[in-house]
Amino acid sequence: MTRHATKYIGILTSGGDCPGLNAAIRGVGKAAQGIFGMQVIGFRDGFRGLMENRTAPLGLDNLSGILTVGGTILGTSRDKPRRMLVGGKEIDVSETIIANYQKHHLDALVCIGGGGTQKNALYLKEKGLNVITLPKTIDNDVAMTDVSFGYHTALGIATEAIDRLHSTAHSHYRIVVVEIMGHRAGWLALGAGIAGGADVILLPEIPYDVEKVAEAIRQRSRAGKHFSVVAVAEGAMSARDAAHFRAADESKQEARTKLERKKAKNALQEFQTRHAGNTLRLAKQLEGLTGLESRVTILGYVQRGGSPSAVDRLLATRLGTACADLISEGVYGVMVAARGEKTEPVPLEKVAGKRKTVPLDHAWITSARLVGTSLGD
Ligand code: F6P
């Protein structure tokens, strides 16, 4: 395919931050300018900065030294083009975004983000913009890519935390319950739970029975191991709560009228607010059912912070440079997916609105069971 005249491309990062975002920005920007002779401009704070036309220079000098830096030099937000809070009202700002895209004579817009960003990018593609996305998230739940960058670094952080919690658990003969991020997918808790040697791993994909968790811990006590480490994904639920959640989620999907949608949304919000305390409640329940003291650690945003791992720097650079290459060939409307050691452009229609959760027959789940880890079921 012939390579075209100078192209102007915009880059933004959107959604939760994660390690590797700057490595990706650098990968796109260095290849685009250094190899393909393109002009590159950044937009601050996700789609909001594009709407407010707030830009950031991304010349080769600005890209120097950011490979190892955590977070994103562009800033990010969870604002959506279809429904953005402006002047106290949620409005569709896509017309303003299109106007700014044209004002900068952009040939393409690179959106680096997780599941929500893929959906927002598809919306702008449907509005006629040339968009191309890169998958990032510590949750590893973006569909149609082997892995997202940010995951590997968070996996290392959560595993190290579990390693450290082991020493205090067995020194005090306690149950240590550690809550791990991941939103509604269990990749981070499962990976770190196995790598850290957790005795129990609870995932959103496998609703748990607290009595079975307690029995696994009591079994360890009977075997003389008077401590246990329980790795809980933030989205994990008991079987009873999972049934409630499914019902609330279904009524939201099935709601027809504005009033029904509002009621369903409130019910779901109420459920999620109550669920926020789930890990603390679980620890208390286990204390009661086992007679062992319990302590809770919620890892939180530590998992999203700091310098990216070598694996994430490599992945983000690979995806970023492949993105610039695709733009030079005029390929748009796709996500740059990781596929083994290669990359592959996947139409956004195949990615948006889908969530990659842990399949119940996944090899990691089998391995966890084979080393005697309880999954609470
Ligand atoms: O998607 C990344 C993530 O860190 C999830 O693991 C977590 O549920 C969520 O973002 C937290 O969102 P926020 O940054 O808006 O608090």
**What value does the mean pLDDT of the chain take?**
96
Q: Which amino acid is at 157?
A: I
Hunting for tokens 């779901």 — which residue is that? 268
Which residues approach ligand 1 with their CB closer than 6 A?
A: 16, 78, 114, 137-139, 181-183, 234, 304
Ligand 1 centroid–CA 308 distance in Å is 17
Instruction: Please give the number of the atom of ligand 1 that sits closest to the Cα of 182.
Output: 6
Ligand 1 centroid–CA 281 distance in Å is 21
Tell me the per-residue pLDDT of 120-147, one tens digit each, with 9 for 90 and over. 999 999 999 999 999 999 999 999 999 9
**pLDDT for position 258:** 86
Cα–Cα distance measured from residue 113 to residue 258, given in angstroms and rounded to the nearest whole number:
30
Mean pLDDT on 264-293: 94
Residue owning the nearest CA to atom 10 of ligand 1: 16
How sure is the predictor about 1, in pLDDT bands with cuts at 50, 70 and 90? Answer: very low
Q: Report the residue among 45, 119, 139, 275 best suited for mutation to probe ligand 1: largest number of ligand atoms under 8 A from its CB.
A: 139
Mean pLDDT on 305-332: 98
How sure is the predictor about 173, in pLDDT bands with cuts at 50, 70 and 90? Answer: very high
Q: Which amino acid is at 183?
A: H
CA angle, residues 142, 147, 150, in degrees to nearest 5: 85
Give the CA dihedral 97, 102, 107, 108, nearest 10 degrees. -10
Instruction: Please give the number of the atom of ligand 1 that sits closest to the Cα of 234.
Output: 8
How sure is the predictor about 3, in pLDDT bands with cuts at 50, 70 and 90? Answer: very low
Distances (CA, A) of 29 to 26, 133, 143: 5, 14, 25
Q: Which amino acid is at 278?
A: N
**pLDDT for position 6:** 76
Mean pLDDT on 249-267: 89
**Of 45, 79, 139, 325, which residue is the catalytic one?**
139
Cα–Cα distance measured from residue 182 to residue 195, given in angstroms and rounded to the nearest whole number:
16
| Pair of tokens at residue 14 | 């959107």
State the DSSP string of 137-187: -TT--BTTSS--BTHHHHHHHHHHHHHHHHHHHHHHTEEEEEEE--TT--H
Does residue 87 carry a pLDDT above 80? yes
Tell me the per-residue pLDDT of 13-36, one tens digit each, with 9 for 90 and over. 999 999 999 999 999 999 999 999
Instruction: Please give the number of the atom of ligand 1 that sits closest to the Cα of 138.
Output: 2
Residues written for the chain: 377
- Check if 61 is active-site: no
Cα–Cα distance measured from residue 300 to residue 211, given in angstroms and rounded to the nearest whole number:
27
Q: Which residues contact 243 (CB under 8 A, 6 or more apart)?
A: 207
Ligand 1 centroid–CA 183 distance in Å is 6
Does residue 336 carry a pLDDT above 90? yes
